């Protein structure tokens, strides 16, 4: 069976991605920092008949992240799809850093999580994809990477860097059989704590299906999701 690796998998979009891809015959490798979260996710996917396994790793710990993906590839016989959800790395009080408050010190952890983690994950799985002549790389950030959002200064800056790299990667791999897709999520996900009252949140299953469609059609290179 083909396998998708979900890096920084969460209990909303991560779970839905596992269910959607699992429903199309994929095994699911889940990578997250919390063993408890991994246990919850694998249990729910197993209840849906999806073969899944968890591999603990912090995306800011590059050697551990690479080892987790290597272990997942060994467990499932390879990684066919990598989906990387750029995390909000909490600094200070954990709130988003506004553009006027961005410093080198508080931007660096976000760059570590969004960019360096994505690059590490990609470089771990890409050689096998290139050797096979097929594969999919999907990267997901908030829409602040595309749409100016002053209250999300550090997330926007790091997400924009990941977006630029992903789109260039798409071009570089176009003739090598590996599809690269970038998703900018401009909607709150149903169930997310702190969702504004005037928001129009989207169901995580709907967002997951968009990821599936991008993989299945290998198009487009970039998708902005809004309610």
Express each pLDDT in 105-129 by its tens digit: 999 999 999 999 999 999 999 999 9
- Answer whether 189's CB lies under 8 Å from 227's CB: no
Average pLDDT over the chain, rounded to whole? 95
Residue 20 domain boundaries: 3-225
Give the chain's domain count.
1
CATH number of domain containing 8: 3.40.50.720
DSSP-based helix, strand, coil % in the chain, nearest 5: 50, 20, 30
CA distances from 122 to 15, 66, 70, 130, 166 (A): 21, 9, 12, 11, 10
pTM of the model: 0.95
Query: CA-to-CA distance for 162 and 170, rounded, in angstroms?
Result: 12
What pLDDT is recorded for position 93?
60
Q: Is the dihedral of CA 57, 210, 142, 140 positive or negative?
A: positive
Residue 88 has pLDDT above 90, yes or no: no
């Amino acid at each position: 069976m083909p396998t998708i690796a979900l890096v920084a998998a969460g209990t909303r979009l991560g779970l839905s991605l596992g269910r959607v891809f699992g429903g199309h015959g994929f095994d699911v490798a889940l990578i997250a920092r919390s063993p408890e979260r991994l246990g919850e996710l694998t249990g729910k996917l197993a209840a849906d008949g999806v073969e899944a396994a968890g591999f603990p790793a912090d995306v800011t710990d590059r050697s551990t992240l690479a080892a987790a993906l290597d272990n997942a590839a060994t467990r499932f016989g390879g990684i066919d799809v990598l989906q990387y959800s750029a995390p909000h790395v909490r600094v200070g009080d954990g709130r988003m850093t506004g553009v006027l408050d961005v410093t080198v010190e508080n931007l660096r952890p976000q760059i570590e999580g969004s960019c360096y983690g994505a690059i590490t994950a990609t470089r771990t799985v890409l050689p096998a994809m290139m050797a096979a002549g097929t594969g999919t790389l999907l990267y997901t950030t908030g829409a602040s990477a595309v749409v100016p959002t002053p209250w999300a200064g550090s997330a926007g800056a790091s997400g924009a860097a990941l977006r630029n790299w992903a789109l260039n990667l798409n071009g570089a791999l176009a003739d090598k059989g590996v599809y690269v897709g970038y998703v900018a999520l401009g909607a709150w996900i149903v169930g997310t704590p702190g969702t504004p009252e005037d928001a129009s949140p989207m169901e995580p299953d709907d967002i997951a299906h968009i990821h599936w469609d991008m993989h299945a059609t290998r198009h487009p290179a970039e998708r902005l999701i809004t309610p």
